[in-house]
């Protein structure tokens, strides 16, 4: 093998570059599946989480607080406003598995319930006065 590499340096370099590029393409394409696998691993250890990204809505702090207090579900912010396609796919895969497992565990759509309660709570509060 070493003799082949020494005789065919250009072929070996081309093969190495091709393997690196193929690895990057496969890594990017597998983002959703990787997210699903990590979610299953976290659930097996008893960790219920949701991954969030983007600009938060006005009621998101209340929403995540309700999820944590009522059900022990943590929020992990993985990105701000600039999100790559692979990170978006990873978070979607992760959340698909974790939300389904949490809803199954608690017997109803806890995320919809927490969202509705958070919005009601935010609408009931008077607007903050900035001075």
Residue 22 lies in a domain: no
Residue 54 lies in a domain: yes
pTM of the prediction? 0.79
Phi then psi for residue 65, to 5 deg, are: -65, -40
pLDDT tens-place string over residues 42-97: 999 999 999 999 888 888 999 999 999 999 999 999 988 888 899 999 999 999 99
Question: Is the distance from CB of 67 to CB of 110 less than 8 angstroms?
Answer: yes
- Alpha-carbon distance of 1 to 109, in angstroms, equals 58
- Alpha-carbon distance of 100 to 120, in angstroms, equals 24
Phi then psi for residue 73, to 5 deg, are: -95, 125
Residue 46 lies in a domain: yes
Residue 79 lies in a domain: yes
Domain that holds residue 111: 31-123
């Amino acid at each position: 093998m070493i003799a082949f590499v020494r005789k065919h340096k250009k072929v070996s370099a081309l093969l190495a570059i091709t393997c690196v590029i193929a690895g990057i393409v496969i890594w990017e394409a597998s983002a959703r599946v990787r997210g699903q696998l990590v979610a299953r691993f976290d659930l097996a250890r008893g960790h219920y989480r949701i991954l969030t990204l983007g600009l938060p809505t006005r009621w998101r702090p209340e929403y995540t607080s309700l999820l944590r207090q009522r059900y022990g579900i943590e929020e992990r912010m993985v990105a701000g406003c600039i999100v790559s396609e692979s990170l978006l796919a990873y978070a979607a895969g992760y959340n698909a598995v974790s939300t389904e497992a949490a809803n199954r565990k608690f017997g109803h759509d806890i995320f919809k319930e927490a969202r509705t309660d958070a919005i009601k709570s935010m609408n009931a509060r008077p607007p903050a006065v900035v001075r």
